[in-house]
Structure 1
């Protein structure tokens, strides 16, 4: 996949990111107010929120948190799944975590979900269960 389709997000991208986030079939926000527009800003401001864009349309995005070594978000427009966009975004944010000095990355996802299968195929392993029941996965960087 051409890297030219990957770029850092800016604040003008937030509406598109929120549209993708609300369109997902899994990990649906029960309360969209839990991830308001302002939640994206620290990742954008720290140059850590990446997106995949084609013909001016945002098709997916991902962000990692270099403060704690976690993947904060990875979402792809459901109509664009299966094209490798998620893999490319994940690789990019994991590189950000490596550059920040992390040897391992963490994330949480719903048990039994397609997201869990995606991460397991990429080599992620069990690291526990979160208080909300999500599965915590970890991968070596």
Structure 2
């Protein structure tokens, strides 16, 4: 397993992973374009991918402009291997190296993602978008995380 920064040529595999998930699915896969991915990866923030045998099996993207976690997804065939945790931690370490502003994300209620974020120190801040739970984590809470 190797985690590295995302490159432009990773976008097709990132899209494949995004569209393979069973929770937090897109109602229309066309809603997130390759151009959207490129903008969030290289203009608004940064992203990371997890590769196993040259195949991208997970990715994360932080949006500095919006103080938002734009994406964190792992292909269903590769869940429960610690990939999401590693991508999450690398992404947040980088985010808080760039600035100390709180960061937020939205996820569907009743999902494993909701449980993951709660266990990771994220605090529920209400409802966002189309019924998603809005979570936030502060620099202080991240800095003081239990390893």
Greater shift after overlay, 47-56 or 81-90? 47-56
Greater shift after overlay, 85-94 or 45-54? 45-54
Instruction: Please give the per-residue CA displacement for 1:40-77, whole angstroms capped at 9, x wherever unaligned.
Output: 10233246110011211111000011112211000001
TM-score when scaled to structure 2? 0.88
Q: Does the alignment pair 1:79 with 2:77?
A: yes
TM-score when scaled to structure 1? 0.92
CA distance in 1, matches of 2:107, 2:115: 10
Which stretches in structure 1 are left out of the alignment for 5+ residues?
Answer: none
CA distance in 2, matches of 1:71, 1:45: 14
- Determine the structure 2 residue equivalent to 1:62: 60
Q: Does the alignment pair 1:6 with 2:3?
A: yes
Return the match for 1:117 from 109, 115, 118.
115
Instruction: Please give the per-residue CA displacement for 1:77-123, whole angstroms capped at 9, x wherever unaligned.
Output: 10110111000001111112102213422100001111000111111
- Determine the structure 1 residue equivalent to 2:143: none
- Provide the secondary structure at the position in 1 that maps to 2:19: helix
- Determine the structure 2 residue equivalent to 1:39: 36
- Determine the structure 2 residue equivalent to 1:102: 100
| CA RMSD of superposed structures (Å) | 1.4
CA distance in 2, matches of 1:106, 1:58: 25
Q: How many residues align structurally?
A: 138
- Determine the structure 2 residue equivalent to 1:138: 136
